[in-house]
Amino acid sequence: MNFNVPFPTKVELSIYKIKNCGLYTSWGKPPVALSIKELLSQLERWGIDTKKPLDQTSVYTPSSDLLASYLWGFEHDTSTGNYLIGFWNEIENKKGAVAYASGNTAVGDGVVTEAKGKKGDIPGYLSLFWFIPSKQIIVGIRTEDHINTGINQLRAYLLNFAVGFSEQVIRTDPKNRKHTAFTDQPKDFKAPKDERLPNSSLKPSFRFPPLQLKGELNFIKKHVLSVTKLIRKVKVKSNTSKGGIVEKVMDGIDFLFHSSLPTENRFIKVEYPTRVSAADVTYMLRDYEDNNMADSYDVTFVFSGDIPNKSFSGARAVEKVSNFSMYYKSKDTPNLTKLLNELDSKFITHIDKSLAKI
């Protein structure tokens, strides 16, 4: 593989709105601190300028629903004001193999490998996000090797970095490091002591919902009387049994997962006949949005006749590119500098095309 030339691949560019980002004193006004530009600048100082090792950049407590994410790399084009940021998301998400990254390597210097992991290596997958502050959007870049963008990890990462690690967090009691508050004052790195005052009126809010094509949602509501059934995804874990009906179903499908790569969660699709109203669609859509558009809250509507199925996730603003030029530093390790230049120079028109449909 010649790393001096781009490698053509298929990608999906999913667009997310920067609806709320920062510390607010009033929801009707702009944030007084940690706007998207300021948040990313602080993230760069925290993780990139200090050359933190990858394994020291996790900012939230992992759970069975959301495993750890780490800051991988960071690029900023000062001429456009845009950013390309990579995150390493724990556990595999790559078809056919598990990828690893060394937890000891400094952020920005990591290498992805599919070789057998060594001590200190972190199994996972790389997610890439193109931040365009001038349009108040984030674009998730999903390559054909991955089954999702890692947007839930990104949401959790930016929120928890802001409220736990940003420069707007101050210690209000030196003897109790867990007692913190927010301040709207900038940090003076030269001051021997942090004497900034807390501001109790500051409220954090970080919301990055996907942009949705209103025409698709209106289509569902217009044809709601033709809906004959719904399809939902149900998260399951194999090798669990408690005797209930759901557990019996899980036991019954356990064999389907035995030959699959190990991962924490699996999904099965449940299809059931029903009738719904426009109010039901509105309620389910609100539930989907309130839960960060998670797969388990998505709904697919099956219509009678020749009407094709429609889903909430299918109404997302997504641009599909069949011949995207991916640049690499080494096998499986993207060159973020060249990728950001490619995005800024050739794909703004793709984004504007999607924004025109909103």
Q: What is the pLDDT of residue 226?
A: 95
Task: Compare 269 and 17 and report the one with higher pLDDT.
Answer: 17
The pLDDT tens digits of the residues spanning 69-117 come to 999 999 999 999 999 999 999 975 555 568 899 999 999 999 998 777 7
Q: Which of 10, 348, 354 is nearest to 210 (CA)?
A: 354
Q: Could you report the per-residue pLDDT of 173-206, keeping only the tens digit for each?
A: 767 666 679 999 999 999 998 889 999 999 999 9
Average pLDDT over residues 261-280: 77
Where is pLDDT greater, at 20 or 254?
20
pLDDT digits (tens, 9 = 90+) for 141-166: 998 877 778 998 999 999 999 999 99
Give me the helix-helix angle, 36-43 and 151-164, nearest 10°.
Answer: 80
Rounded distance between C-alpha atoms, residue 93 and residue 96, angstroms: 9
pTM over 0.85: no
Predicted confidence at residue 41, as pLDDT, reads 98
Say which amino acid occupies 189. F
The pLDDT assigned to 264 comes to 45
Average pLDDT, the chain: 87
pLDDT score, position 235 = 66
27-65 as b/e: b if 16+ CB within 10 A = eeeebbbbbbebbbebbbebbbeeebbbbebbbbeeeee
Confidence check: pLDDT of 17 > 90: yes
| pLDDT exceeds cutoff 60 at 265 | no
d(CA 68, CA 337): 25
- CA 291, 293, 297, 299 dihedral sign is positive
| DSSP bridge pairs for 165 | none
Instruction: Grade residue 249 by pLDDT with cuts at 50, 70 and 90.
Output: low
Rounded Cα gap, residues 273 and 290, in angstroms: 25
